Amino acid sequence: MPTKTPNALLHGTLDALILKTLTAGPRHGYAIAASIEGASGQTVVVEEGSLYPALYRMERRGWLEAEWGESELGRRAKLYRLTRQGRAQLAAETETWRQFSAGVSKILLARPAFAPSASARK
How far is it, in rounded angstroms, from Cα 91 to Cα 3? 28
Q: List pLDDT tens digits, range 45-88.
A: 899 899 999 999 999 999 999 999 988 888 899 999 999 999 99
Domains present along the chain, CATH in parentheses: 7-95 (1.10.10.10)
How far is it, in rounded angstroms, from Cα 104 to Cα 106? 5
DSSP reduced 3-state for 71: coil
Name the pTM for this structure: 0.80
pLDDT at residue 38 above 90? yes
